[in-house]
Amino acid sequence: GAVVSQHPSRVICKSGTSVKIECRSLDFQATTMFWYRQFPKQSLMLMATSNEGSKATYEQGVEKDKFLINHASLTLSTLTVTSAHPEDSSFYICSASKGAWNTEAFFGQGTRLTVV
Amino acid sequence: QKEVEQDPGPLSVPEGAIVSLNCTYSNSAFQYFMWYRQYSRKGPELLMYTYSSGNKEDGRFTAQVDKSSKYISLFIRDSQPSDSATYLCAMSGGTDKLIFGTGTRLQVFP
């Protein structure tokens, strides 16, 4: 199967600090990785798409300077929430794709971020 | 109007029942249709993937796509308490981003 590991699963941080979330494809090389945000009882909202070795493509309304994405290798992408505030508290989920197609994307376990 | 509409539920059924979950969509360019299962505080797990119209069966799960009506369904036969989760439909035109429904929360009681 295709396994995507996301770490940490839960993090609590103080307002103003930065938090890094890792997403790894364990048994395949991920050409493309996606970062989503999910609010309670709401759908997954795509934040950005990242391709290995290039800059991420952010969705409209997502601050690229606040949500830094690095896709340094074919198996690792990171999302850094900079200067976090309570309104950034949410469930963040990554997915990794074997190809350029969304249909081959597999999801990580998600990270529950709480900013206090 | 949202691109993908899905009844949030909750849908509560007894064990053994047949469950029908549905989504409607507005974008006729969608060609790829997925169903994901998401347990509480976990990432979505791909259950079924269908290209264009038609049916697809995998064990107790059957996915149907009716492109003429812009309507997709997921049927779960012989539902089990372990099927209790949120079910998300998702779709795309292929190389563009996935569009998700809000998810339907399913509860199967013993």
Q: Do A6 and B8 lie within an 8 Å CB cutoff?
A: no
B29: pLDDT strictly greater than 80? yes
By C-alpha distance, the chain A residue nearest B37 is A107
pLDDT band at A105 (very low <50, low <70, confident <90, very high): confident
> Which residues on A lie below 8 Å from B33 (Cβ)?
none
**Preferred mutation among A5, A92, A102, A111 to probe B, highest tally of B CBs within 10 A:** A102
Mean pLDDT in chain A?
Answer: 90
Q: Strand, coil or helix: what is A104?
A: helix
Phi-psi region of B66 (alpha: psi -120 to 50; beta: other; left: phi over 0): beta
The CA distance from A92 to A109, in Å, is 9
Give the pLDDT of residue A101: 59
